[in-house]
């Protein structure tokens, strides 16, 4: 019997999200709306992204998308306020405003301008209702947008020329020291959910080649402790923790067996020995005609 269950899963800490520019990341904290930073007009932000994710990756598209999203939303607010006020020459003013926006976004788009110029007042009102939620725009692939065009759009949307605004701390109400980039962009929830990834292991299967724990949840593997994690421990000065990671928790066969016995008996874990990786290195060096032997008090000439 096969059972298919469709469930909705709420976003939680550890779930993965991404934008449209390779700007992926996991949710590190979820706080009440009241605690989120808010703009001068009291609107709280939805997501806070770390600016350190931009310079090294050089995906500036996410900043352009955010700015254009803000421009589109501000244009929408301008249209919405005109729909609310409805002056005597309302239709004429609305048409002029929408034409001004269309020209600012793309003066080389005769179709949109032709439609706005020649549609009836009723049709214009329908377009305006749609635009009031935010004016949609797209940048063709590889064309980009010039700085002059951005300044023109910012000026028309009444946005500061640096695209930043003041934010206030949701908990204290104090104005933040630096102005912040705030805008609208697409964020997508990826199919990498923490509930499906959570995994722990004490002992388990080891690779036949490296004698290190296998990888992956499916194989009941260990957690990968990569280069960058090693650098973190080195920077922190955690020498004993690092040695443990590279020996008894990895491929020091005798060391981990002794550690297991010591823990089971409630004794002190002894010194770690030479990890299997070292012997793999000696074999690789032998393939380069370099015969390396280990000499020491407790090591014979065969390296045993």
Domain with CATH 2.40.270.10 in the chain: 16-188
Q: What would the mean pLDDT of 295-299 be, rounded to a whole number? A: 67
Q: Which residues fall within 8 angstroms of residue 192, CB to CB, at 6 or more apart?
A: 15, 16
Q: What percent of the chain has pLDDT over 90?
A: 76
Cα 286 from Cα 281, distance rounded (Å) = 9
| Mean of pLDDT values over 52-60 | 93
pTM of the model: 0.76
Tokens of 51: 């600016």
pLDDT digits (tens, 9 = 90+) for 220-266: 999 999 999 999 999 999 999 999 999 999 999 999 999 999 999 99
pLDDT at 302: 54
Q: What is the 3-state secondary structure (H, E, C) of 173-237?
A: CCECCCCEECCCCCCEECCCCHHHHCCCCCCCCECCCCCCECECCCCCCECCCCHHHHHHHHHHC
Region 188-193: mean pLDDT is 95
- Answer whether residue 57 shows pLDDT above 80: yes
d(CA 93, CA 87): 9
Backbone Cα Rg of the chain: 30
**Contact of 184 with 66, CB cutoff 8 Å:** yes
What stretches of the chain adopt beta strand conformation (E)? 16-18, 24-26, 164-165, 180-181, 188-189
pLDDT tens string 124-172? 999 999 999 999 988 888 887 888 888 999 999 999 999 999 999 999 9
pLDDT of 261 reads 94
- The answer, yes or no, to whether residue 91 has pLDDT greater than 90, is no
CATH number of 16-188: 2.40.270.10
Residue 304: band (very low, low, confident or very high) from pLDDT cuts 50, 70, 90: low
pLDDT value, residue 85? 82
Q: How far apart are CA 289 and CA 291, in angstroms?
A: 6
Ramachandran assignment for 36, one of left (phi > 0), alpha (psi -120 to 50 degrees), beta (any other) = beta
At 105, is the pLDDT very low, low, confident or very high (cuts 50, 70, 90)? Answer: confident
Tokens matching residue 273: 């020995």
pLDDT of residue 293: 86
What is the average pLDDT score of the chain? 91
**CB-based contacts of 102-105 (< 8 A; 24+ apart in sequence):** 104/152, 104/153, 104/156, 105/135, 105/137, 105/153
CATH of domain 200-286: 3.90.1800
All CATH 3.90.1800 domain ranges in the chain, comma separated: 200-286
pLDDT band at residue 45 under the 50/70/90 scheme: very high
- All residues at 6 or more sequence positions from 256 whose CB lies less than 8 Å from its CB, including other chains: 247, 248, 249
Q: What pLDDT is stored for residue 300 in this prediction?
A: 54
State mean pLDDT over 29-47: 96
Reported confidence tier of residue 204, pLDDT bands at 50, 70, 90? very high
């Amino acid at each position: 019997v096969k059972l298919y269950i469709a469930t909705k899963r709420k976003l939680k800490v550890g779930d993965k999200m991404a934008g449209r520019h390779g700007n992926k990341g996991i949710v590190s904290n979820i706080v009440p709306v009241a605690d989120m930073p808010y703009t001068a007009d009291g609107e709280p932000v939805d997501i806070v992204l770390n600016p350190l994710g931009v310079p090294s990756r050089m995906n500036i598209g996410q900043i352009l998308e955010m700015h254009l999203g803000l421009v589109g939303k501000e244009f929408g607010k301008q249209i919405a306020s005109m729909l609310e006020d409805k002056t005597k020459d309302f239709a004429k003013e609305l048409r002029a405003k929408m034409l001004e926006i269309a020209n600012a976004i793309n003066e080389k788009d005769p179709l949109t301008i032709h439609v706005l110029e020649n549609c009836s007042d009723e049709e214009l009102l329908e377009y305006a209702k749609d635009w009031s939620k935010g004016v949609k725009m797209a940048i063709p692939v590889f064309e980009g947008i010039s700085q002059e065009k951005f300044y023109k759009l910012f000026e028309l949307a009444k946005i500061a020329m640096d695209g930043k605004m003041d934010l206030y701390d949701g908990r204290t109400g104090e104005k933040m020291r630096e102005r912040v980039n705030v805008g609208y962009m697409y964020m997508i929830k990826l199919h990498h959910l923490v509930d499906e990834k959570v995994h722990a292991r004490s002992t388990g299967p080891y690779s036949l080649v490296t004698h290190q724990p296998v990888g992956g949840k499916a194989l009941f593997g260990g957690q990968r402790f990569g280069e960058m994690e090693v650098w973190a421990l080195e920077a922190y000065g955690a020498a004993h923790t690092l040695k443990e990671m590279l020996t008894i928790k990895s491929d020091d066969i005798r060391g981990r067996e002794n550690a297991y016995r010591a823990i089971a008996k409630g004794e002190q874990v002894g010194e770690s020995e030479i990890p299997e990786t070292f012997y793999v290195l000696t074999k690789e060096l032998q393939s380069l005609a370099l015969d390396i032997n280990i000499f020491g008090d407790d090591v014979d000439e065969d390296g045993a």
